[in-house]
A and B are shown apart, each in its own frame.
Chain A
């Protein structure tokens, strides 16, 4: 959060070299200011003479081309027979209580809106610091609990894996306060819940999925994992190309020779990065869908994004709310495939 008013030289620096022209242009357009120019420095000189307000600078910050401005989503299933109203009340009853003394983990507020329970959580993150020995930072994030087909899912647009582990911690802490802790348990969404022979099927379905708004342009990387080892490896370029081409042709992964070779050696896929092009807006994204192993966490994240202008790809940071919207939709696809296969496995 910006607290000190930016210096003109800093604004110049940010506009002329830290933010893509496309983002600068869009930022100004919304405010009624149109620059006909191809030179960021010229634009920066004028912009640093304007006096912007709080949200303006927050928005500018969000366009700075750095990892933290690309968003992610993760989720955890809630194993519970309780209904949404009960769940909301259970969490609400613990609002304000410190759930963990070492990092002051607590529930700040709860809102129930359209059958979605939103919970704001905060905690103090302690990391080795550059100046201080330990750098403490108060972190805040939101959990959304949604219900679909009798399944309750806690979703989080996390910034780091630490946020995700805190979600599990909150749910566990809350469940301990119930008469029977088994009434509300976090259930991780991990690949290992699927029988080995169906794990490839997950990625098969994911890669061949027909999205409403996107089409698959390329498979950029695939991560593999072997049986008991929880280390991931990237597959080699030639093999990746082979698989990618097959996918783009619409072939089933399970019939692919390279994939079969991996399976025979005891490997299965644990993550994939896809290049997706939007069907209506001239943007493309690199989307990673991965079952991480440390911590065990399913994660969908936007790794990069570009705008297509005159046939050329130009880096751009998509507005945060837009990224969140896309990620939520991708998560729905993820859930559909994962639970589809899980149900199939249980029937077998």
Chain B
């Protein structure tokens, strides 16, 4: 029924905003703002607009968020294609309609708007990840001259975001607020590594998220600070994949001047004891770095049970 759908729609919009804010994004302006295209006059309802400073471009980027809550049976390639097309046109409208955009959302900030995220929550218990990927594969991408990026987060990604947020909270608590996500220096970009308290779109869709923190440990009467490299690991738990991640730590100099490397997994560790033991055995003993494996606090499968605490 339309009323129920509106209620659910609003409920999901608020939750989606809560999640993105907890990931460190700044919301700008109000939710559900209309921006019209100067060419066609068509009005696009922007559910929410966020910004963050991209560490590799050193500029503020703006992201349109579209929140949709649907039953599984309504989700298919056609639905996704329509949403993607809309988002692509909305991005274009924003870039062409500077005045309205500034008045309502941007407030004259120098920002690059070429990205959108569709937060799609399947609200019955029928979400099927494999099927969803099949739908994505058959989606036709719109054609535009200027580059646009549209990210699709469905239940697997959304729950992963919540899990990340929970783990982030624990790490902040343990490190007395020193934990930061670590953005390594990459060839082709000219910036030093950065430590930030928010996650970029690239990181949200990556298989590893690196972080650094300092934890005070007490030995006898002295407090010694321990430097810890943290990895939030979302790749498969296999020897080859773990070895590759270890080599990533080397490439990005995450083993330098570090006392401990803590790897967090979002799957129950006891299923993977054998592989993890074998991996540990193969780590070259270097500078007495301790490797620890931990489990992330997995978010409940009902996203509404997850709450951001202040």
- Residues of A near any B CB (own CB < 8 A): 1-5, 7-9, 12, 25-26, 29-39, 42-43, 45-46, 48-57
Could you tell me if A53 and B147 are in contact, using CB atoms closer than 8 angstroms?
no
Selected from A9, A29, A34, A54, the residue in CB contact (under 8 A) with B238 is A54
Specify which of B145, B188, B203 is in contact with A51 (CB 8 Å cutoff).
B203
B292 at the interface (CB under 8 A from A): no
A38 to B241, CA, bound (A): 32
A33 touches B151 (CB 8 A): yes
Q: How far is the CA of A49 from the CA of B189 in the complex (A)?
A: 9
B225 close to A (CB within 8 Å):
no
CA separation between A42 and B114, bound complex, in Å?
Answer: 12
Closest to A8 in B: B186
Considering the complex of A and B, which 7 residue pairs feature the smallest CB-CB distances, nearest first? A53-B235, A53-B207, A54-B241, A51-B206, A36-B148, A5-B248, A8-B186
- Of chain A, the residue at the smallest CB distance from B80 is A34
Contact pick for A31, options B143, B148, B205, CB 8 Å? B205
Contact B240 A49 (CB under 8 A): no
A36 to B88, Cβ gap below 8 A? Answer: yes
Contact A48 B188 (CB under 8 A): yes
A1 to B154, alpha carbons, bound, how many Å?
31
- Chain A residues with CB under 8 A of B56: 49
With A7-B187, A36-B88 known as contacts, the answer to whether A50 contacts B202 (CB < 8 A) is yes
- Closest residue of chain B to A54 (Cβ to Cβ) is B241
A38 and B133 CA atoms in complex are apart in Å by 23
B244 A32 Cβ-Cβ under 8 A:
no
Contact status B150-A55, CB under 8 Å: no
Q: Report the Cα distance A257→B56, complex, angstroms.
A: 68
Chain B residues near A43 (CB, 8 Å)?
147
* In contact, A34 and B152 (Cβ under 8 angstroms): yes
Within the complex, the shortest CB–CB distance from A312 to chain B, in Å, comes to: 14
B247 touching A51 by the CB < 8 A rule?
no
Contact of A34 among B84, B143, B244 (CB under 8 A): B84
- Band of interface residues on B: 35 or more
A143 CA / B202 CA spacing, docked (Å): 41
- List residues of chain B with CB within 8 A of the CB of A7: 187, 251
In the complex, chain A residues whose CB is within 8 Å of the CB of B150: 33-36
Q: A38-B143, A57-B244 are in contact. Are A9 and B188 (CB under 8 A)?
A: yes
Interface set, chain B 234-260, CB cutoff 8 A to A:
234-236, 238, 240-241, 243-245, 247-248, 250-251
How near does chain A come to B44, taking the closest CB pair, in angstroms? 16
Q: Is the CB of B136 within 8 A of A30?
A: yes
Question: Is B244 touching A5 in the complex (CB atoms < 8 A)?
Answer: yes
Complex: A52 Cα to B247 Cα, angstroms: 13
CB distance from B261 to the nearest CB of A (A): 15
Is residue B98 within 8 Å, beta carbon to beta carbon, of the partner chain?
A: no
List of A residues within 8 angstroms of B235 by Cβ:
53-55
Given contacts A34-B84, A49-B186, contact A39 B247 (CB under 8 A): no
Residues of A within 8 A of B1 (CB): none
In the bound assembly, the distance between CA atoms of A57 and B208 in angstroms comes to 14
Say yes or no: B208 contacts A33, CB within 8 Å: no
Known: A42-B147, A46-B149, A54-B244. A33 touches B205 (CB 8 A): yes
CA distance A57 to B142 in the complex (A): 26
Interface string of B179-201 (1 = CB under 8 A from A): 00000001111000000000010
How many contacts A-B (CB < 8 Å)?
Answer: 116
Whether a CB of chain A sits under 8 angstroms from the CB of B276 is: no
Q: Looking across the interface, which residue of chain A has its beta carbon closest to that of B208?
A: A51
Known interface pairs A29-B137, A31-B205, A36-B142; A54-B240 also in contact (CB < 8 Å): yes
Most buried by B among A8, A48, A53: A53
Annotate B108-149 by CB proximity to A: 1 below 8 A, 0 otherwise.
000000000000000000000000010011010111110111
B236 in complex: contacting residue of A12, A26, A55, A57, CB < 8 Å: A55
Q: Which residues of A contact B133 (CB under 8 A)?
A: 30
Whether A32 pairs with B247 at a CB distance below 8 angstroms is no
Complex Cα gap A29–B136 (Å):
6
**Chain A to chain B contacts (Cβ below 8 Å), 24 pairs:** A3-B244, A5-B250, A7-B251, A9-B188, A12-B188, A32-B136, A32-B152, A33-B150, A35-B147, A36-B142, A36-B143, A36-B144, A36-B147, A36-B149, A37-B147, A46-B149, A49-B186, A49-B200, A50-B203, A53-B207, A54-B235, A54-B238, A54-B241, A55-B236
The complex places the Cα of A46 from the Cα of B144 at a distance, in Å, of 17
Q: How far is the CA of A5 from the CA of B184 in the complex (A)?
A: 13
Closest beta carbon of chain A to B166's beta carbon, Å:
21
CB-defined contacts of B248 to chain A, threshold 8 Å: 5, 51
Q: Tell me the minimal C-beta distance from A29 to chain B in angstroms.
A: 5
Give the complex CA separation of A91 and B187 in angstroms: 51
Given contacts A8-B186, A32-B136, contact A50 B206 (CB under 8 A): yes
A3 vs B149: C-alpha distance when bound (angstroms): 30
Report if B157 contacts A (CB, 8 A): yes
* B75 CB–A CB distance under 8 Å: no
CA distance A59 to B305 in the complex (A): 36
Q: Which residues of B contact A29 (CB under 8 A)?
A: 136-137, 139, 141
Indicate if the CB atoms of A34 and B141 lie closer than 8 Å. yes
A5 contact set on B, CB distance < 8 A: 244-245, 247-248, 250-251
Given contacts A3-B243, A26-B137, A54-B238, contact A49 B147 (CB under 8 A): no
Q: A2-B244, A5-B244, A54-B238 are in contact. List 6 more A-B contacts (CB 8 A).
A: A1-B240, A33-B151, A34-B139, A51-B203, A51-B210, A55-B235
Residues from chain A with a CB closer than 8 A to the CB of B144 are 36-37
The listed residue (A12, A34, A51) touching B151 by CB distance below 8 A is A34
Do B202 and A49 have beta carbons less than 8 Å apart? yes
**A8-B187 CB under 8 A given contacts A32-B154, A51-B207:** yes
Task: State whether B141 touches A55 (Cβ < 8 A).
Answer: no
Chain A's closest residue to B120 (CB) is A32
